[in-house]
């Protein structure tokens, strides 16, 4: 890859608002491109295959791991998630700033393999607020909600491993800070 600073990692616990932040980044600058991940989790209502994720069977996902098709992959709350190498490479070569919206284990893998990225960890204003956001999403079952909450504690503990920490309280403020960190 030519310029790894073109790789922007947005990470942080489930429910912190990564998706909303990334959507706003994409709206503000045509030069950003969001990598579409593969996952074995079931699509939520309204999610579209090839747009939100590539929804795959566990079997297919494992086959792709053995074929080295992922830049990184991780298991999260009982499912696999991974970033596809080819599409990211192609966009980097076309000079896009590629956004990876991923959980912390995958983010750490990327940081080890491509140290020249920029990583941003989004923190919730409070633990309670995070729980409310996860619960209000109402698309996950109770078991998945509990797994995500437990996982969030672990994820927040690793927040110091990333370049920038942003408490996501106000969307506009969060975006301003991120754009400032990334530069032009």
Q: In what order do the strands lie in the sheet with 54-55?
A: 54-55, 38-39, 79-84, 70-76
> Would you count residue 88 as binding ligand 5GP (CB under 6 A)?
no
Cβ atoms within 10 Å, residue 46:
7
Of 6 and 40, nearer to ligand 5GP (C-beta) is: 40
Instruction: Give the nearest distance from C-beta 5 to ligand 5GP in angstroms.
Output: 20
Which of 40, 61, 106, 121: binder of ligand 5GP (CB under 6 A)?
106
Of 41 and 177, nearer to ligand 5GP (C-beta) is: 41
Which of 76, 91, 119, 152: binder of ligand 5GP (CB under 6 A)?
76
Q: Are 139 and 44 in contact (CB under 8 A)?
A: yes
**Candidates 75-83, 89-97, 162-170, 174-182 — which segment interacts with ligand 5GP by CB under 6 A?**
75-83
Q: In what order do the strands lie in the sheet with 118-123?
A: 32-34, 97-101, 7-11, 118-123, 164-167
């Amino acid at each position: 890859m030519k310029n790894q600073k073109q790789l922007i990692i947005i990470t942080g616990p489930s429910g912190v608002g990564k998706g909303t932040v990334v959507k706003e980044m994409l709206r503000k600058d045509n030069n950003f491109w969001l990598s579409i991940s593969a996952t074995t989790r079931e699509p939520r209502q309204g999610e579209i295959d090839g747009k939100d994720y590539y929804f795959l069977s566990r079997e297919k996902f494992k086959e792709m791991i053995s074929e080295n098709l992922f830049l990184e992959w991780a298991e999260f709350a009982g499912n696999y998630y991974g970033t596809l190498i080819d599409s990211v490479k192609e966009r980097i070569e076309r000079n896009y700033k590629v956004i990876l919206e991923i959980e912390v284990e995958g983010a750490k893998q990327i940081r080890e393999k491509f140290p020249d990225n920029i990583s941003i960890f989004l923190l919730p204003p409070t633990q309670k607020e995070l729980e409310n956001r996860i619960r209000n999403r109402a698309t996950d079952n109770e078991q998945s909600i509990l797994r995500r909450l437990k996982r969030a504690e672990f994820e927040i503990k690793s927040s110091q491993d990333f370049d920038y920490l942003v408490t996501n309280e106000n969307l506009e403020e969060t975006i301003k800070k991120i754009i400032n960190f990334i530069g032009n």
